[in-house]
Structure 1
């Protein structure tokens, strides 16, 4: 637990800014996957399965470190854990620059994932200690939207001019910025969050059924998103839309990511969290099928953007729900593991489907994943209703 008295509070402008940058760096894959995989195919001449393997290794590393550190969130200094994690991730991506072989890139991606996942765990655990975690996480989601526009709008041109290796320099710069911001402004938990986590840690209560159902569902939410997004750029190029229109679709994707988190923040008291998580993910299956089967550019661009809206809107409500169901901070500190264990499987799974069947297989796989996702989210809704009157009034 962070002790530094000179650190700003979460609700301060400096504290929120540091958490927003940290969230963007830790969730880099949410924005970067299409260019990540596309660059490895186009510039490094890897096949889809190989190209999917490298982000998968990064995400596996992030998942493993998040699982390890989430249960230790209250025993460590959150600020220094985040700073060191992002600094190590920056170093790993810096070492990737100029390398072209899988034997070198693979272990560096895995180490980078271990480092970034640990940093993101302490970032999300700290957000869970806010007076209103839902609202702070909505601010972090807005930051992802701004970052997405800048990254997806500017990176393709930079890569075209300076080469594919520049992608790793950009990744390193993002991680480095998060380390510096964390060093300067990483906040301490709000008093209420500190007291709640201390009390929960003392009692060491096991996580409830509702929390475990949500953990599984969020992993599937991330898997469906990452599986489709990983090959979004390649699908567009394969359909003959051309570099300029595919880049425009990625910019539209980035612009749309600005909307869901603020909207989720505004609707926090107007829509039940369990209603959102039990219904909205249906859009993932619909959009994944359209992206992988349509020959229309308009439908392709719109469906990709709506997939981004779906995961960000749903996850903001799911994060707020988890923070209320588990006040120890362990569940929200494990958010990177939930997201990345699903996302880790996705690029390799998607690449394998594309290699042996074709892009259309991704859409059908998305339907199966969303069906399981909806089952678990609806089990969460039922479990929350049955657990306690307090949870019913606050979380449902």
Structure 2
């Protein structure tokens, strides 16, 4: 059952989403800060951040099936609070390479806490009266947050050291905890059954396919995007030009969330689920192979937006296949699983086949996503009770 919520509830979910996703916004600063200021090796910096992401995946995977059987507000607030305390403790650690022994377990604990909060925020969004639209708008909020972070935090890190980044993370998680304590919405009876009709029950058994498509999308994004700057340098593009492209990308990312919300009833989610991976593969091949700057720049600017736009439609589709909120509650696990694997897979491909291999690997992953969407469409149309207006 979907549930209308007020402005306060939507604001709380938006702030919770922003807090839980700030790690993805600040990832380049995070890795860079650990290497430059804490003098971590690339391996130690990567392992440290990966421990956080794995914590998010584990928490989301564990909590998603329990979404309708736990006190959601309490667990959300507790999760963000744990993450805030962990990041605060990180900020107090000495800024040197010896801090790895303390920072690594604190990152894992923070990931578990943030994953708890973000998972239940996404599950609650999936239980609202219009999950597609709300998910599009919270992604707009994250894009705004990304611009603010890149405008303010690098200068603060230069002046006060990398521990400032952990203070910013702690403040974000604390704000998320406070917002959810005050305004986390009631999205229905936690004990309410998933659905009373058999047709809905059959559709809920199909949710693994769009979940796998989301993993494919995020795997491709992290696999290719992690090397965007290095690809530009290898092609001889100026560092200033590449940086300008990345700044432009931040502003372009403001568009796909609202655009997806506006197009909700104008385009089928299945059509977007098919077109999105194809578009992503074409962009990946272009940016990894282009020898001229304009096609490279255009592909980079659009690459992340393609994922945001497609994922918004898939999130709305999941909320209809499984109105209980359990599938959407697993969103952090889907996203972070692909994000964890992508850089490592990309590094292996670059070592063996060069940067151009990233584009073809992305094409192969996208082909898997397309096959899954075609199968999902066929099975939905095969159900006599399928809502063709919603799914076809």
Please classify the TM superposition score into its range, dividing by the shorter chain length.
0.7 to 0.9
Runs of at least 5 residues in structure 1 that lack an aligned partner in the other structure = 1-8
Structure 1 residue 393 displacement after superposition: 2.8
2:68–2:190 Cα contact (<8 Å) kept: no
Taking the aligned partners of 2:377 and 2:275, their CA distance within structure 1 comes to: 11
Structure 1 residue 239 displacement after superposition: 6.2
1:10–1:188 Cα contact (<8 Å) kept: no
Given the alignment, which residue of 311, 314, 322 partners 2:318?
A: 322
Aligned residues: 384
TM-score by length of 1: 0.86
Runs of at least 5 residues in structure 2 that lack an aligned partner in the other structure = none
Structure 1 residue 17 displacement after superposition: 1.3
How has the CA–CA distance of structure 1 residues 294 and 245 changed in structure 2, closer, same or farther, with 3 Å as cutoff? same
Taking the aligned partners of 1:312 and 1:44, their CA distance within structure 2 comes to: 32
How has the CA–CA distance of structure 1 residues 102 and 284 changed in structure 2, closer, same or farther, with 3 Å as cutoff? farther
2:88–2:167 Cα contact (<8 Å) kept: yes
Aligned residue for 2:7? 13
Taking the aligned partners of 2:239 and 2:102, their CA distance within structure 1 comes to: 29
Aligned residue for 2:146? 148
Given the alignment, which residue of 362, 373, 376 partners 1:377?
A: 373
Aligned residue for 1:199? 193
Aligned residue for 1:256? 252
Encode CA deviations 1:171-197: one digit per residue, 9 max, x unaligned.
2222122112112222221xxxx2697
1:10–1:187 Cα contact (<8 Å) kept: no
Aligned residue for 2:67? 73
How has the CA–CA distance of structure 1 residues 281 and 294 changed in structure 2, closer, same or farther, with 3 Å as cutoff? same
Given the alignment, which residue of 284, 290, 312 partners 2:308?
A: 312
Taking the aligned partners of 1:394 and 1:263, their CA distance within structure 2 comes to: 18
Taking the aligned partners of 2:110 and 2:33, their CA distance within structure 1 comes to: 18
How has the CA–CA distance of structure 1 residues 140 and 360 changed in structure 2, closer, same or farther, with 3 Å as cutoff? same
Aligned residue for 1:347? 343
Structure 1 residue 42 displacement after superposition: 4.1
2:70–2:190 Cα contact (<8 Å) kept: no
Structure 1 residue 299 displacement after superposition: 4.1
Q: Secondary structure at the match of 2:192?
A: helix
Aligned residue for 1:176? 174
Which range moved further: 334-343 or 151-160?
A: 151-160
Given the alignment, which residue of 254, 267, 273 partners 1:271?
A: 267
State whether structure 2 residue 317 is matched by structure 1 residue 331. no
Taking the aligned partners of 1:138 and 1:19, their CA distance within structure 2 comes to: 12
Which range moved further: 230-239 or 164-173?
A: 230-239
1:144–1:257 Cα contact (<8 Å) kept: no
Aligned residue for 1:368? 364
Taking the aligned partners of 2:210 and 2:27, their CA distance within structure 1 comes to: 24
Q: Secondary structure at the match of 2:207?
A: helix
Encode CA deviations 1:64-111: one digit per residue, 9 max, x unaligned.
111110111111121121111111112222222345343333222221
Given the alignment, which residue of 77, 90, 93 partners 1:83?
A: 77
How has the CA–CA distance of structure 1 residues 163 and 238 changed in structure 2, closer, same or farther, with 3 Å as cutoff? farther
Structure 1 residue 296 displacement after superposition: 4.9
